[in-house]
Amino acid sequence: MPGKILIAGGTGLIGVRLSEMLIDLGYEVAHLSRDPEKLPSYKTFKWDPQNGYIDANAISYADYIVNLAGANVGSDKWTDERKKKILSSRVDSANLIYRSLQENEHHVKGYITPSAIGIYGNSGEQLMSEESTYASDFLAEVCKAWEAAAWQMKELNIRTVILRLGLVLSNKGGALPQIARPIKLGAGAPLGSGKQYMSWIHIDDACRIFIRAIEDPQMEGVYNAVAPHPVTNKEFTTELAEALKRPLVLPKVPAFALNLVLGEMSEVVLTGQRVSANKIMQTGFTFEYNYLEEALESFYEKNFN
Ligand SMILES: NC(=O)c1ccc[n+]([C@@H]2O[C@H](COP(=O)([O-])OP(=O)(O)OC[C@H]3O[C@@H](n4cnc5c(N)ncnc54)[C@H](OP(=O)(O)O)[C@@H]3O)[C@@H](O)[C@H]2O)c1
């Protein structure tokens, strides 16, 4: 059954782990990257979504396309220019794949894309399912445009799966090492009220959901990709401090201070959503990491880094 998987943005945090796991299962993996030298151990096709260039051989290679490409949301302050890039890098890349699929002979059976639970905005304690109302802040608008671009693949009779990822936990990058840093330095504290929910997912479970989306022909449409037990920011910070064996010494960091440092990007840490994993579990998917404690132990049990 294994086939050829083309991963756009495969050089990033999720892409690297997903590539390893797919190869372990016997799949062939190639990347679609703006810089073919970035990970030379992988077969890589070049593209430049901003300027509409894609090596057409990429499309004829693939049985399935996973499109993880997008400018990082948490790495730079959200200037107007950065916001444009966050949006356009996702929409342009999906549009370019769509055009290339239209114009070239191909045998692509599925298109799998992440979106994000930011689509639900700041939704307090309410449990958000795939049918819940969308917000209209910046991240929600990005997610809506990103998902609309992905839906075009259905017009080409390609099975399309959209995975609304929660906060992906890894000790190799993403949010976790950034949240852990002040705690390790003895300056850890909950952020804002500390009551905002964090719907997290262990990176291995996230990748296993991508693999399930490739393999299960019944999977189509939108699924939340979060662990079944989200926690509040305060609980997250406390459990992480325990896993790192560090005390939490400071009071909560006030929202205005975060706003001063991060600008509008503070939205990412000050707002939250409590998201349901029911739909993906109803497909028969089982999580390896159901509780935050287990996920953190997998990263920090043996070495504290
Ligand atoms: N990590 C999370 O917690 C999380 C949560 C929700 C959603 N997601 C989404 O899942 C996807 C993958 O996440 P990740 O954490 O693996 O991201 P990442 O580490 O930032 O990697 C994304 C990849 O996208 C490509 N890329 C970066 N800027 C680009 C641009 N301007 N135009 C086109 N491609 C660009 C890069 O590949 P090349 O340099 O090789 O082209 C990069 O390796 C992203 O779209 C992200 O928004 C992630």
Q: What is the mean pLDDT of residues 196-217?
A: 97
Strand, coil or helix: what is 274?
strand
Q: pLDDT tens-digit profile of 8-36?
A: 999 999 999 999 999 999 999 999 999 99
Q: How large is the average pLDDT for residues 140-163? A: 98
Domain residue ranges of the chain, discontinuous segments joined by +: 4-169+201-226+276-288
Q: In this structure, what token pair is assigned to residue 171?
A: 């000790």
What is the rounded CA–CA span in Å between residue 107 and residue 63? Answer: 6
Confidence of residue 1 (pLDDT cuts 50, 70, 90): low
Q: How far apart are CA 256 and CA 191, in angstroms?
A: 10
287 contacts 178 by C-beta, under 8 angstroms: no
Instruction: Report the largest interatomic distance among the alpha carbons of the chain, rounded to a whole angstrom.
Output: 60
Residues 6+ apart with CB under 8 A from 236: 179, 198, 200, 292
User: Can you tell me the distance from the alpha carbon of 103 to that of 114, in angstroms, rounded to the nearest whole number?
Assistant: 24
Contact 165, 116 (CB under 8 A): yes
The Å distance, Cα 187 to ligand 1 centre, comes to 29
The CATH fold assigned to 4-169+201-226+276-288 is Rossmann fold (3.40.50)
State the closest ligand 1 atom to the C-alpha of 93, by its place in the atom list counted from 1.
Answer: 33
Nearest CA to ligand 1 atom 19: 12
Higher pLDDT, 86 or 250: 86
Classify residue 242 as exposed, middle or buried by CB count within 10 Å of its CB (0-12, 13-18, 19+).
middle
Eight-class DSSP state of 138 = H
- The answer to whether the CB of 271 falls within 8 A of the CB of 196 is yes
pTM over 0.85: yes
Question: Which are the contacts of 127, defined by CB distance < 8 A and separation ≥ 6?
Answer: 274, 275, 276
Q: Is 59 exposed, middle or buried (0-12, 13-18, 19+ CB in 10 A)?
A: buried
Q: CA–CA distance from 277 to each of 77, 128, 130, 284 (Å)?
A: 31, 9, 9, 12
Average pLDDT over residues 194-205: 96
pLDDT for the residue 200: 97
Nearest Cα residue to 110 out of 145, 149, 63, 74: 63
pLDDT of residue 304 exceeding 60: no
Report how far ligand 1's centroid is from the alpha carbon of 14 (Å): 8
Count the helices and strands in the chain (H runs, E runs): 11, 14
Mutate to test the pocket of ligand 1, among 168, 203, 222 (most ligand atoms within 8 A of CB): 168
**Residue identifier of the C-alpha nearest atom 22 of ligand 1:** 12
Percent of the chain with pLDDT over 70: 98
What is the per-residue pLDDT across 78-126, written as a single tens digit (0 to 9) for each? 999 999 999 999 999 999 999 999 999 999 999 999 999 999 999 999 9
Specify the pLDDT at position 302. Answer: 58
To the nearest whole number, what is the mean pLDDT of the chain?
Answer: 94
Report how far ligand 1's centroid is from the alpha carbon of 71 (Å): 6
Strand partners, 31: 7, 44
Task: Answer whether 226's CB lies under 8 Å from 166's CB.
Answer: yes
Picking from 68, 110, 66, the residue whose alpha carbon sits closest to that of residue 215 is: 110
> In the structure, which protein residues have their CB atom closer than 6 angstroms to any atom of ligand 1?
9, 11-15, 33-35, 38, 49, 68-73, 85, 89, 93, 114, 116, 165, 167-168, 174-175
Give the H/E segment covering residue 160: strand 159-165
Residue 269 confidence (pLDDT): 84
The pLDDT of residue 267? 80
User: Which band of pLDDT confidence, cut at 50, 70 and 90, is reported for residue 305?
Assistant: very low
Nearest of 165, 211, 277 to residue 17 by alpha carbon: 211
Q: Which of 55, 72, 83, 90 to mutate to test the pocket of ligand 1 (most atoms within 8 A of CB)?
A: 72
